[in-house]
Chain A
Amino acid sequence: MKRRLFALAALLCLGAAKPVLVPDVSDRQVQIVYSFTGADLLLFGAILYPQGRAPDHPADIAVVLKGPTQSILVREKQKVAGMWVNADSARFRSAPSFYAIATSKPLAQLVDAHTAAIYELGLDGLQLSPASGAPPEEQRRFEQGLVDLKRRAGLYVEDPHGVELSSGVLYRAHIAVPARVPVGRYVAETFLIQDGKVVAGAVREVRIDKSGFERFVSLAAHRWPISYGLVAVALSLAIGWGAGQLFRRT
């Protein structure tokens, strides 16, 4: 923190031409315990303009929280002989498991599609790296299907007025993390956008992990599958037998 302040002071003295972002996150570590129903992250920070004051028309902020990327297979159902069955599929090598963006204005008013794609801003700007050599329109269809599915599951979120700017220099945004997010390393990115260009950016890391009993159970299931299975059977037998005994007495 001290070092950061020095850096700030230095910047202010030099009167650097570019503004700087000082971001932070309310929780660097989100623990998933038995009562976890999702988390509410506050992403906030300050914009440091050269000369220490906001320009006449203040810049805008976009805040992105991204989960670990996954290689995934998207399947599409088609009607075959009166039944809806999985038919075509497409593979994407780098789909974020979670993606939430909050902006101070609707994204379309901030950047053009090209810039959005470079910085992966917005659901249309996601770089999913399709792996199949399918024609572009087919890929587009699968991409839309994927984004729509994830959006309805609350895993892809766009909030066009989610960032609150105070006096043009302080910003804050709430991002809701639903309960079914995968665990892993998340990155919180903040972008300062002025006249359709990203003029500053900063990154913070957020870890989402299972902890306590939940962590132990999922670790055990993967590391010691045989013991885990035996324990599951034993527990099931014990509860079933115990309940039987209990009711036989009464």
Chain B
Amino acid sequence: MHIYLPIAGLSVNMLVIVLLGGGVGILSGMFGVGGGFLTTPLLIFYGIPPAVAVASSATQITGASVSGVLAQMRRNGVDFRMGGVMVAGGVIGSGLGALLFRLLQKLGQIDTVIALTYVVLLGGIGTLMARESIGTILAQRRGEKPARRQRRHNRLIAMLPFRWRFYRSGLYISPLAPFLLGTMTGVLTVILGVGGGFVMVPAMVYLLGMAAGVVVGTSLFQILFVTAATTMIHATTTKAVDIVLAILLLVGSAIGAQIGSRFAMKLKPEYLRLMLALLVLAVALRMAAGLTWRPGDLYSVEPG
């Protein structure tokens, strides 16, 4: 079943794209991450032009996060004040990201920067997560109780001026911290086509020290708005949003996410985290290999 993608300008196997969306959806349902960090590289490996892969993946994430946000809202899992500050930062970040994207495209370094950022981010986060989950699993094996981490304010964040109260997050901190975090994620969304949940969630837990109950909901809330803004930015600047591609991915991921969330209930959370960590590390390694191995195509062509 082939279908022609009007913006990417090539014909793809519809089933492959839906299954790809479905596979990523299963993982995102299992681990509670958006899965953009998998969708974009896989689309690029499949031969979709990087700009189209990044832009359409952002559009898909908007749809993939909406039912999650609604579910979290029903159970009071969203800190709207915190989320609002992060969205504001994220929208500005996606604007900055668009400028950076264009600059890098002009220099011809966008592909390298995409790959390198993936390697650094995924490698770092994957290592952290793997260490943490292996530690927990070993501690449980020895029959120790997992050490409860003290929630403490990060020194640097405590230094920032004018503090706001974020009741649901249980925080009294400067809004600049979540704003900057949002900005950084916004840049990542535009350049990498990721929602940024895999950066946001650890940062919200470990850096900001937010109450655990609102972390996922607030992160999804931010992702929903920032990916929507990113779609608009790509639609007006790179014109690389392929509606057909995004819909195909979304159909797959919507179904996959439901299957995945059912899987997740049967597994222990620390094993889930270890699996996710290994997956993240695998993507990072694949990207690193792509950077260091002699590529099949030494030459690339762009209009100019």
Contacts and interface: CB of A to CB of B under 8 A. Distances in A.
Given A240-B66, A243-B255, A85 B112 contact: yes
A236 B254 contact: no
A18 interface: no
Contacts of A235: 63, 243, 246-247
B176 interface: no
Nearest to B64: A240
A148 interface: yes
Given A83-B112, A239-B63, A179 B299 contact: no
Interface in A217-250: 217-218, 221-222, 225-226, 228-233, 235-241, 243-245, 247-248
**SS class, residues of chain B in contact with chain A:** helix
B59 A233 contact: yes
A214 B235 contact: no
A235 B245 CA distance: 12
Contacts, number: 179
Contacts of A36: 4, 11
Contact of A239 (B65, B231, B232, B251): B251
Contact of B62 (A89, A148, A210, A236): A236
B294 A221 contact: no
Contacts of A77: 295, 297-300
Contact of A228 (B4, B235, B250, B298): B235
A29 interface: no
Interface in B280-304: 291-295, 297-304
A134 interface: no
Contacts of B243: 217, 228, 231-232, 235
Given A74-B301, A237-B66, A239-B247, 11 more contacts: A33-B4, A70-B303, A73-B304, A74-B299, A86-B111, A145-B298, A150-B301, A221-B241, A240-B63, A240-B250, A243-B254
Q: Which 6 A-B pairs have CB atoms at the shortest separation, nearest pair first?
A: A244-B67, A229-B235, A240-B63, A243-B254, A145-B299, A236-B63
13 contacts: A32-B4, A73-B303, A77-B297, A83-B116, A86-B111, A217-B7, A217-B244, A221-B235, A228-B241, A233-B231, A236-B228, A239-B247, A243-B251
Interface of B: 2-4, 6-7, 9-11, 59-60, 62-68, 70-71, 108-109, 111-112, 116, 228, 231-232, 234-236, 239, 241, 243-244, 246-247, 250-251, 254-255, 258, 291-295, 297-304
